Amino acid sequence: MKINIYYGGRGLIEDPTLYVINKIQDVLKEIRVTVGRYNLYEQKNSISMLPNTFKDADAVILAVNVEWYGLGGLMQTFLDSCWLYADKQKLKDLYMFPVIVATTNGERKALENLAGAWELLGGRVCDGICTYVSNHVEFETNQVYASIIEKKAEEIYRIVSHRMPMLPNSINACHVEIPSAGIELTPQESEQLSVYVADDTFVKKQKEDVEMLSQMYKSILGKKKPEENEDLPGGFEKAFKGTNGTVKASCCMVISDIGKNLILDIDGKKIKSWYGEPAGTDITVTAPKDVILKIITGKATFQGAFMSGLVSAKGRLDLIRMLDRLFEF
């Protein structure tokens, strides 16, 4: 049996999360479990390759400390890499035990976000450790707390060794996967792509190429008459194909170079689009106007633009693929 621990904190000596995962690691090793340890702060330039370490793992422990608000950036980057490069078939059988230790308020919200992200990836979420620590010295010298952590480590071992079944959840039960209009990557291709992403020289060259192409398209699109490219809301409404009625989503497209926000409100077979201020949208997509024009003229896709860095997004990243399926440009 092998269990991997991924620590998303900054590695500070006063971080009580380190005490918790060290205690868990010691117990697991005592019962002859192979433990892999990955400190994300030590592997900032190769986080995109870490999903490849899932191959021989039976379970993972995702540990993060809440210092001021929510999950740290390193853990979020790791989860993004799991979404882009991990073998989804492997994730379906992978147990995840969260370890959330907060030195401020918000540990429950962080746990909810971490569990929700893992379920969206398709993995199995188990009960972990979620606690608040006001004084790390008192916490680490408390024998009652130490006993609780040790029992949790033993529980992790029992769950994984017996391959205990999990009750279904609404995300996996109700989620209807929409095929991508872009190129579907095999796990092997995703692994190779993650190697390229981790190569700083390759990424720098790609960014230079993207910038060159961006400038070229700007010069081409800039020659068009204003009336040909001003009606972006109308362009999306004309290309909307509709859905079977089960998809409800809202998207805010921040058009960075003209200072406008294009809102798309999708409800089954209906769509509304207008320029306005975002209010609780499911996903926020940021791109210059020329990239949006490339998409609505069929010269690019949302997913392709996102993968190449032309488009940035936050929120429900699963909607990137859905947008390509809902519009026929």
Q: Show the domain range for 309.
A: 199-326
Do 72 and 160 have their domain in common? Answer: yes
Instruction: Return the number of other C-beta atoms located less than 10 Å from residue 229's C-beta.
Output: 17
Q: What's the pLDDT tens digit per position in 131-167?
A: 999 999 999 999 999 999 999 999 999 999 999 988 8
Do 65 and 126 have their domain in common? Answer: yes
Q: What stretch of H or E contains 180?
A: none
| Closest residue by Cα to residue 81 from 42, 113, 116, 54 | 54
Q: Any idea of the CA torsion for 112, 113, 119, 123, to the nearest 10 degrees?
A: -100
Any domain includes 77? yes
Q: What's the pLDDT tens digit per position in 174-226?
A: 554 544 444 555 655 555 555 555 556 766 777 777 887 877 777 666 554 44
Position 275 scores a pLDDT of 87
Domain holding 129: CATH number? 3.40.50.360
Any domain includes 119? yes
Any domain includes 180? no
Any domain includes 149? yes
Do 19 and 126 have their domain in common? Answer: yes
| Closest residue by Cα to residue 2 from 80, 59, 85 | 59
Any domain includes 97? yes
Question: What average pLDDT does the chain have?
Answer: 84
| Closest residue by Cα to residue 203 from 299, 72, 307 | 307
Q: Could you give the number of structural domains in the chain? A: 2
Any domain includes 188? no
Position 228 scores a pLDDT of 42
The β-bridge relationship of strands 270-275 and 260-267 is antiparallel
Position 214 scores a pLDDT of 78
Residues with pLDDT less than 70, the chain:
171-200, 202-203, 219-231, 243-245
Position 178 scores a pLDDT of 42
